[in-house]
Amino acid sequence: MTITIAKLQPILAIAAGILILLRPQLLHYIVAAYLILVGLIGLGVFRALS
């Protein structure tokens, strides 16, 4: 199974949600990392690397 860009965002969202439920004090860091990754994915940075 290959992970495409379309599948990566929901996987990141689920992982972030689980981490927030487990460690609520990490909320700011998880949200910031998620937004940065979504922005990079949207700009196509990961497609340029492959």
Q: What is the pLDDT of residue 17?
A: 86
Averaged pLDDT, groups of 10, the chain, 50 residues long: 76 86 89 87 73
d(CA 12, CA 16): 6
Q: What is the pLDDT of residue 49?
A: 63
d(CA 19, CA 40): 21
Dihedral of the CA atoms 47, 32, 19, 17 (nearest 10)?
Answer: -80
Residue 25 carries which DSSP code?
G
Classify residue 12 by burial, with Cβ atoms within 10 Å: 0-12, 13-18, 19+: middle
